[in-house]
Amino acid sequence: MRDPAAALSPGVVYTETVVYSAPEAYVNDAPYQIAIVTLDQGPRVTARILGERVSIGDRVSFAEYRQGVPYFRKRAD
Amino acid sequence: MRPVAVVAIGKTAFGAFPDRDLRSLAVEAGRKCLEDGRITPAQVEAFFLGNFAGPSFVGQNHLAPYVASGLDIEGVPATRVEAACASGGSAFFHAFSAVAAGLYDLVLVVGVEKMTSQPTPKVTEILASAGDLAGEVKAGATFPALFAMIARRHMYQYGTRREDLAAVAVKNHANGAKNPYAHMRKVITLEQALAGKPVADPLSVYDCSMISDGAAAVLLAPLERASAFTDKPVRVLGIAQTSDRVALDEKPDITTFPAIRKAAEKAYRMAGVGPADIEFAEVHDCFTIAEIIATEDLGFVRPGEGGPYCSQGCTARDGAKPVNASGGLKAKGHPVGATGAGQICDVVAQIRGQAGELQLERHSLGLAQNLGGSGATGVVTILSAV
């Protein structure tokens, strides 16, 4: 198990979707993008994407945790 | 292990029934099944209830004896089986196991779900509880979102087209339009399917099965006693249930469901048949991409070929291998716990030659495939004429 507070390495988008029909807890966030990211460290995580939309194969970097959920954003390089 | 037959079936229509509660739906399907088998409730030796989330959808627990007593079945083991969207198939698997092992002769399975009493965001949340709450669900994944991510990856790896997904919806709506038990009896065009309201990209409303109420029931007996209950017994030729990881981000390749691959392998081996022998199938199209992957995991085509297989008409009613001639979950509706039992009913009706307007030309060897969650439970059943 990874330490839930530790910063995550950058990674690559394995798959993604933009959610329009949200569960009750996230209705106000919709539409939002989530992605499964393959971390350079090895494992995959399901994360929220901040800012610009990403596609499969895009490099992303870890931004922050919000209530235990990792947020990533597209890398500039 | 002794040979087992399905000797009776019964189901309710699937749809939104504001005046019906969970128990009345389950009892209706169960009664019809007992009548079909010409047996009394006192003859039932064990009862299995397939139900995903009755406690969350309607607040009722201890559901198996609750439903059984509504059927006047008392004093026998009454057990609820929960395996997400494969609850009905799993209940059937456990009933089969008990009869095959010789524990009981007459075992009744009822699958039921009552979903439409909750608003859609709440239903979405309850369905999501079949995923990994600590990871993917916390991040905002819904079931459509999980299957949308599966679809995206399948499109990326294999070149599956948006139109291939839509072709599944068009076919299943066309089939469902003939089915008097279906929730949605409406033919749609490819253009309509492609222009649906987005749910989770690339999936639109036309790629998603419906939120429905409904129940289905199946009665199992040893093959040697089957003729006492029916003129047309249907043999359970092969069956298997297997498990896999719940979280999508823990699977090495999300474009295939290993639980289905393994269950299919085992069921084919037990039945002594292969994918090419199967004449028709009812598969778990909770989302259009799931039907495409099912045809690959069941070995009808190779990985990545499921999209064109449907688009080219191979799985249509008049195709080489009809898939979801009933309309599938897409058109029939998907009352989660009822779905697996309903698929068995549909395959049995075809084999008996009693499928009405849905009747297929070749109908002596059929397969039902029931998927739980985003692939953590797989049940594959092969049924044949006797």
DSSP class per residue in A14-66: EEEEEESS--GGGGGG-SEEEEEEEETTS-EEEEEEESS---TT-EEEEEEEE
**Which residues 19-38 of chain A have a CB within 8 Å of chain B?**
19-27, 29, 31-32, 34-36
pLDDT for B47-91, tens place per residue?
A: 999 999 999 999 999 999 999 999 999 999 999 999 999 999 999
What are the DSSP E strand ranges found in B36-156? 46-50, 78-81, 107-113
pLDDT at B212: 97
State the best of B118, B136, B152, B206 to mutate against chain A, taking most chain A CBs within 10 Å: B152
pLDDT for B306-362, tens place per residue?
A: 999 999 999 999 999 999 999 999 999 999 999 999 999 999 999 999 999 999 999
Q: Which residue ranges form the domains of chain B, and what is each CATH number?
A: 4-118+211-228 (3.40.47.10)
Q: Using alpha carbons only, how large is chain B's radius of gyration in Å? A: 19
pLDDT at B283: 98
Mean pLDDT, residues B236-260 taken together: 98
Q: What is the ipTM of this complex?
A: 0.96
Q: Which residue ranges form the domains of chain A, and what is each CATH number?
A: 11-74 (2.40.50)
The answer to whether residue B154 scores a pLDDT higher than 90 is yes
Distance to chain B for A33, nearest Cα, Å? 9
Mean pLDDT, residues B108-132 taken together: 95
pTM beyond cutoff 0.95: yes
Q: What angle do CA B365, B370, B372 make, to 5 degrees?
A: 165
* Annotation says B85 is catalytic: yes
pLDDT for B198-207, tens place per residue?
A: 999 999 999 9
Mean pLDDT, residues B10-25 taken together: 97
| Chain A environment of B145 (Cβ under 8 Å) | 17, 19, 34
| Chain B environment of A48 (Cβ under 8 Å) | 139-140
Backbone angles phi, psi at B135, to 5 degrees: -120, -90
Mutual angle of helices B336-352 and B87-100, in 10-degree steps: 60
